[in-house]
Structure formats: structure tokens, C-alpha cells
């Protein structure tokens, strides 16, 4: 399951006003003075108060705890984040973080292999885990009274996982099969993997696949997994987030009972503050595949984030990405989709990353259109943005639609745990998540123009095409 970030919330925000309008009753309210607030006005109000109102504290062993109370339903989400993901894999051993995630389900000192998941399932709950480039997280969603159960089980896994040697090879086969299903059998996944390696380099922390290169997965040893656990899975490098129908006093008591006894120990902090490559490993990547029916275009440039480079520029790039490729009304939609050159076009940028981020432009070519023609039209749209800068209407539209995503953030179960835990685990302060609508509203036209010119006009970048096979 992918982590929920502000970016995934923003992606659905543009559709919110239309969805709310469609759902609104057609009749006039009996009291016209009491009208429902528009999404725009509601988003403005949210910009001045915290989204979740989270409480935070730190246990004596260094574990940070976050609590968000919501008593709408008698359910709790319990997440344990570690500040280490695929980006922390040792050189020549890509996939270690993901492999360890699998092995953490093989039992712990007081919990037999498989017993954690079985206990959660018997209570009608859900449990799983995920590894991203920045974090690894383990979570359970259960009925509120079962919070002590999952805290006991997860804290035991935290303190003393077994990582049994006799399960290493069977689990390696599971992971290799996962790679075959998700990557090797998908032309687009293989292309994306090659594209990332072309921009960053195949052994750069950002250029290695999270699941790992196949030869390196085969080379991972149990000692590699134990080293990663010892170096990264320390209380001071972890964040516990509990959200839902649980009072703060109860969460504090349970955290003291189950998590405080986990021994404190030194850990190896992530090191991603170095400069990214001065030039891409490959400036252009073209792949053809017989299984591809629609040609895809992609261009990615190295960009700052909230943890690397100019953070103000990172906020501005979020607004630039929406103005340039945020659905209908965006520049790429007008230049490529409305002109019949592409069936879809967009931009992707995530400021919440550990280390340097990427600003990505993408498009799907309309059948019958020459790739060169569409790429030239995209280049022209980008050039005009860099030359003239965005307009005030574009800035206002982008901020309005993006901050409307705050409404969605408040409504989704598990959203608070993922957004808060993911941000804190990479060193982003909790205030950044709580007040991100305000930060977006503070972005100026001048900042947008400067950020676009710095990244789209001069940063290292790679351009790629995934094309169908040429007819014989």
C-alpha cells in the first residue's frame, strides 16, 4: 500500500468542488442565511488552523509518539514508521529495506511467526506494511478496544524480531516473484525503472528500485538484514502514530507500558545531504516494446525538497506543477490534450522527500501523432512559462484547488497517520503538515517564476519515450 502524502491528497482535490456541487440538494434551504460553505471558503478557514490538531511527545528511549483523536467511528489506526527506506540500502544490496520488511513478519521473541497477523484478523482488523524510498512502516487498523493488543504485538516485533535463517530463501523467492509480477512483466514499470536509473545513476540512492535489482536481491544475506535492523530500527529513528477513537491519556499509558521498554540504542542516520549528480547518467532514454499500444513521454529534473535545497522554492514548485499539469485548465492540458496531440498530460512533484526530489512532466501520445510533434509542443509550453512566468489567475486557481485537498485529508481514515508519520520520519516538522494550506497560499508569482526557471530551465534532467514496436 503506497504512503498517503500531501501529493496524493492534492491529486483528488481538483475534482472536489464539482463533486460537492453534484451532491448538493437542488432545493433552497428554508433558512437562506445558513448556506453551506463553499469548498474555497472552507479551505481558507482551514488554512488558519491545524488540520489534525495532533499531540506529540517523546519517550525516554527516543521514540516519538503522535496522537490524533477522532471519535467518529470506534476504530483506531496504529502505525510505526522507521526513518529508513530503499534509499538507505547499502551499496550493491538494493532491496534490503524491502526484504527486511518481509522478514519482520516471521515472528519475534514472544510472538510466533504469523501470530501477529492472525491475531489482528481474528479481531476483524487489518495489518500490513510498506517500504518507500524514505520510510518503512508497519500498521494495523482495529476496533478501538483492541489498541492494547496491537501495541503489545508491534512493540515485541520492534524490540526482538527473529529473522529466522530457515525462512530466508523461501522469502527471497516470494520477493523475486513479486518483482517479476510488478516490474519484469510490465513494460511501463521496466521503463520507469530504467528512466530513474538514467537520471540518477543505477547505484544512486534515488536511482535504485525499492524492491532491488534482481542480481542484488539474490545476493542479500541474513547478515545484511540484521545489520540494517541494528543500524536503522532504533527508537530514536522511529515514529509511532495512533489516530482514531483513543484518548491521549490512554495512548500515553499504553505507549509507556509497551514501547518505553524497547531499549534505546545508537542508529545510523540517513545521509542524503550531498549534491545530486551534476549531469544525468543518460540525458535521453528511448525504449520500444511489443506489448505497448500507447506511446508515453516523460521528462524529470532534479529539484529541491523541504529537506534539501531551498525549501521556499520547493513550496513554489508544488504550485508550478499544478499550474503546468494539474488537470483541465493547466497549460499542458491546453497545449497537448485540447489540441489533439495527447490523450493525457500532467506534472508530478513532491516536496516532502528526504534529500533531493524530482519534478516530472508526462504525457500519453494520441495514436497517429508523431512523437516529435508532441514533444515540440510540450517544449513550447514550458518555454512560455519560463519566459513569461505564470499568471495570477493560474496561481490562484492552483492554490485554491490544492488547498481544497485539506478537506479530503480530514475525511479519510488513516490519512492523518500516514501524512504525519511520513513527514516526521524524514525530518519535516509537524507544523508543516498541520498548516500546509497556509504555506501554499503564501507562494508568490515571483517565487513560482524563479523556481520554474531554476528547475525546468537548468537542473539536470532526463527525457524518455516508451514506444510501440515499429511495424516490420
Residues 6 or more apart whose Cβ sits within 8 Å of residue 108 = 116, 156, 157, 159, 160, 161, 162
Q: What gap in Å lies between CA 106 and CA 167, rounded to an integer?
A: 8
Is 101 marked active-site? yes
Among 369, 372, 390, CA closest to 381: 390
| Angle, CA of 324, 329 and 330, to the nearest 5° | 5
Among 100, 9, 72, CA closest to 46: 9
Which residue in 69, 101, 352, 447 is the catalytic one? 101
Pairing of strands 296-303, 126-131: unpaired
Q: What gap in Å lies between CA 52 and CA 22, rounded to an integer?
A: 27
Give one DSSP letter per residue of 261-285, joined into a string.
TSPP---------SPPPSS-S-SEE
Are 464 and 198 spatial neighbours (Cβ–Cβ below 8 Å)? Answer: yes
Q: What gap in Å lies between CA 343 and CA 408, rounded to an integer?
A: 27
What sign does the dihedral 254-260-262-267 (CA atoms) show?
positive
Q: What residues are labeled active site? A: 101
Amino acid at each position: 500500500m503506497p504512503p498517503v502524502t500531501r501529493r496524493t491528497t492534492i491529486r483528488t482535490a481538483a475534482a472536489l468542488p464539482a463533486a460537492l456541487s453534484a451532491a448538493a440538494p437542488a432545493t433552497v434551504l428554508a433558512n437562506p442565511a445558513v448556506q453551506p460553505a463553499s469548498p474555497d471558503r472552507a479551505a481558507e478557514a482551514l488554512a488558519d488552523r491545524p488540520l489534525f490538531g495532533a499531540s506529540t511527545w517523546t519517550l525516554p528511549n527516543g521514540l516519538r509518539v503522535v496522537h490524533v483523536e477522532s471519535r467518529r467511528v470506534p476504530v483506531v489506526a496504529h502505525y510505526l514508521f522507521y526513518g529508513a527506506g530503499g534509499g538507505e540500502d547499502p551499496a550493491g544490496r538494493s532491496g534490503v529495506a524491502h526484504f527486511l520488511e518481509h522478514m519482520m513478519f516471521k515472528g519475534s521473541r514472544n510472538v510466533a511467526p504469523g501470530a501477529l497477523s492472525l491475531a489482528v484478523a481474528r479481531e476483524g482488523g487489518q495489518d500490513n506494511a510498506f517500504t518507500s524510498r524514505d520510510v518503512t512502516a508497519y500498521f494495523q487498523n482495529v476496533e478501538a478496544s483492541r489498541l492494547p493488543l496491537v501495541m503489545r504485538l508491534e512493540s515485541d516485533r520492534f524490540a526482538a524480531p527473529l529473522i529466522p535463517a530457515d525462512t530466508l530463501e523461501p522469502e527471497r523467492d516470494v520477493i523475486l516473484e513479486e518483482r517479476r509480477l510488478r516490474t519484469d512483466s510490465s513494460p511501463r514499470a521496466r521503463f520507469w525503472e530504467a528512466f530513474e536509473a538514467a537520471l540518477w545513476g543505477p547505484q544512486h540512492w534515488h536511482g535504485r528500485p525499492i524492491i532491488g535489482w534482481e542480481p542484488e536481491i539474490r545476493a542479500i544475506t541474513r547478515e545484511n538484514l540484521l545489520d540494517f535492523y541494528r543500524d536503522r530500527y532504533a527508537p530514536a529513528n522511529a515514529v509511532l502514530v495512533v489516530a482514531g477513537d483513543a484518548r491521549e491519556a490512554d495512548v500515553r499509558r499504553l505507549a509507556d507500558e509497551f514501547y518505553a521498554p524497547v531499549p534505546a540504542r545508537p542508529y545510523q542516520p540517513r545521509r542524503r545531504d550531498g549534491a545530486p549528480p551534476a549531469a544525468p547518467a543518460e540525458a535521453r532514454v528511448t525504449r520500444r516494446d511489443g506489448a505497448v499500444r500507447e506511446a508515453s513521454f516523460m521528462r524529470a529534473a532534479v529539484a529541491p525538497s523541504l529537506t534539501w535545497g531551498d525549501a521556499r522554492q520547493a513550496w513554489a514548485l508544488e504550485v508550478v506543477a499544478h499550474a503546468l499539469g494539474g488537470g483541465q485548465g493547466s497549460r499542458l492540458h491546453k497545449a497537448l490534450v485540447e489540441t489533439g496531440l495527447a490523450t493525457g498530460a500532467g506534472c508530478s512533484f513532491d516536496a516532502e522527500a528526504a534529500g533531493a526530489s524530482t519534478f516530472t512532466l508526462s504525457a500519453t501520445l494520441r495514436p497517429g501523432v508523431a512523437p516529435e510533434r508532441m514533444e515540440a509542443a510540450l517544449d513550447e509550453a514550458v518555454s512560455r512559462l519560463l519566459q513569461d512566468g505564470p499568471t495570477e489567475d493560474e496561481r490562484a486557481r492552483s492554490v485554491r484547488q490544492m488547498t481544497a485537498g485539506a478537506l479530503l485529508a480530514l475525511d479519510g481514515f488513516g490519512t492523518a497517520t500516514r501524512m504525519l508519520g511520513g513527514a516526521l520520519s524524514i525530518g519535516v516538522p509537524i507544523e508543516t503538515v498541520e498548516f500546509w494550506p497556509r504555506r501554499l497560499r503564501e507562494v508568490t508569482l515571483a517565487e513560482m517564476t524563479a523556481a520554474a526557471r531554476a528547475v525546468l530551465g537548468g537542473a539536470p534532467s532526463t527525457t524518455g519515450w516508451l514506444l510501440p514496436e515499429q511495424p516490420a
